[in-house]
Amino acid sequence: MRKQVIDFLRKSVTYVVIKLGDCGTPDLENLVVQYRQYHKQGALEPPVLSEVFSSLAPLRATSSASVPAVICLYCTTDVIKNRVSQFPRGVRTGMALLFFDIDGTLLTLDDKHEMPESTKHALYKARENGHKIFINTGRVKTAIDRHLLDFGFDGLVCGCGTYIEYRGETIFHHTLLGEKCAEYAGMLRELKLHTIFEGKERLFIEGDHGPGSFMEYIYNYFSENAEYPIEDASHPELCFDKFTTARLPDSDWEAFQKQFAADFNLISHGEHVVEAVPLNFSKATGISFLIDYLGSSLSDCYAFGDSINDMEMLRYVPHSVGMGNGVNEVLQIVEYCTTDILEDGISNALKHYGLI
């Protein structure tokens, strides 16, 4: 029987996952082997492992020797490295770091803009199981819905990695200098762009936000949630970490891209809106900072998102989840596609990975 199993592995399996036990070292007695081939799933007892190693050579392995980790072993046949079987996995042991986008991931995109009950229960359960949960958003802290801030997340990665908080304490903050903020605001004004400047504690707006304007929804929504009133961009205390700008019919879009591409990562949201994040900052850099701060491992990280500005963190972590309501660009790169946010998407994903 053992020979038959090994022969099957040698001929058919294209992806083998070996999970290390809590000892953190590749001790055979603490290894569990899982293999998947398209629509098949099975498991081998540890004593078979040494024969599997010798039978599937040459293999390439990567691991972390100091913490519980995942070793990915690739056969010599073609392997799609960015795709893992959609089959549920065993229950995970050890602490995981879970990073969640807000809009379309934690909160619905309808007028209610609320967290589904199934998501709440799943997050509570994940914390009960010893995992840490983080918001990882393009929003600055003052633009996060108050009920989310009160939910009990272990930490926040805000403004695409420009602000990081852990257990209520600010552990990192990168903001633009006041004179640069005024300079950028003046440049955008000359280019006839309507912009919202996003700071940790305050939002500033440039352009019409009256009835029927593009900025009307943004102004009204954040006015209800922000701790401080939204100020005009001409305010003498203008200070921000990033900004989002809207293209109008008479805007000089080409000049905008030329003038700002040297200092900012310009993330397009459709044809008319761009999110501008200072170079070298992203949701992925926020995760990297927290990994170092907590002494964790990248292999412990899971990211959940649905939009273009989630793609860097989804590419960065080994376990990426795309919401069923996500854009195609996201769904094409993630490790696992879950269901729609309104169809228990977060709960189903956490169950898939054995986190709850």
| Average pLDDT of every residue of the chain | 79
For helices 345-352 and 117-128, angle between their N-to-C axes, nearest 10 degrees: 30
Phi, psi of 86 (to 5 degrees): -80, 5
Looking at 253, 278, 303, which one is the last position of a domain? 278
C-alpha 163/C-alpha 140 separation (Å) is 8
On whether both 12 and 28 belong to a single domain, the answer is yes
Q: Give the separation between CA 282 and CA 99, rounded to whole angstroms.
A: 13
pLDDT of amino acid 223: 77
Does position 61 have pLDDT exceeding 60, yes or no? no
Report the distance separating Cα 96 and Cα 184, nearest Å.
39
Report the pLDDT averaged over residues 107-130. 95
27 Cβ contact list (under 8 Å, min separation 6) = 21
Of 17 and 249, which is predicted with more confidence? Answer: 249
Q: Are residues 9 and 28 in the same domain?
A: yes
Q: Looking at per-residue confidence, does 220 or 344 come out higher?
A: 344
Same-domain pairing of 41 and 112 = no
Is residue 184 domain-shared with residue 253, that is, in the same domain? yes
What is the number of domains present in the chain? 3
93 band by pLDDT with thresholds 50, 70 and 90:
low
pLDDT at 158 over 70: yes
- Comparing C-alpha atoms, which of 231, 167, 171 is closest to residue 199? 231
Q: Is 312 helix (H, G, I), strand (E, B) or coil?
A: helix
Residue 60 — pLDDT band, cuts 50, 70, 90? very low
Last residue of a domain, one of 262, 278, 294: 278
Banded pLDDT at 209 (limits 50, 70, 90) = confident
pLDDT in tens, 249-300: 999 999 999 999 999 999 998 888 999 999 999 999 999 999 999 999 999 9
The dihedral through the CA atoms of 50, 65, 95, 334 has a sign that is: negative
* CATH number, position 188: 3.30.1240.10
Is residue 203 over pLDDT 50?
yes
The pLDDT, as a whole number, for residue 253 is 94
**What residues make up the domain containing 54?**
2-74
Q: Are residues 239 and 252 in the same domain?
A: yes
Exposure letters 241-259 (e unless 16+ CB within 10 A, then b): bbbbbbbbeebebeebeeb
- CA proximity to 160, closest of 146, 171, 181, 174: 174
pLDDT digits (tens, 9 = 90+) for 310-320: 999 999 999 99
**Banded pLDDT at 100 (limits 50, 70, 90):** very high
Give a yes or no: residue 92 inside a domain.
Answer: no
pLDDT of residue 221: 78
* pLDDT tens column, 213-245: 767 777 887 777 667 788 999 999 999 999 999
Strand 40-44: give its sheet, edge to edge: 40-44, 32-37, 15-19, 70-74
Instruction: Decide if 144 is inside a domain.
Output: yes
* Residues 53 and 110 reside in one and the same domain: no
Query: Considering the domain boundaries, does residue 162 fall inside one?
Result: yes
Pairing of strands 242-246, 273-278: antiparallel
Q: What is the mean pLDDT of residues 144-165?
A: 96
Q: For 124-129, what is the mean pLDDT?
A: 97
Examine the domain organization and report whether 308 and 347 are in the same domain: yes
Is 87 part of any domain?
A: no
Q: Would residue 19 count as lying in a domain?
A: yes
- Distance (Å, rounded) from C-alpha 39 to C-alpha 30? 27
Same domain, 127 and 194: no
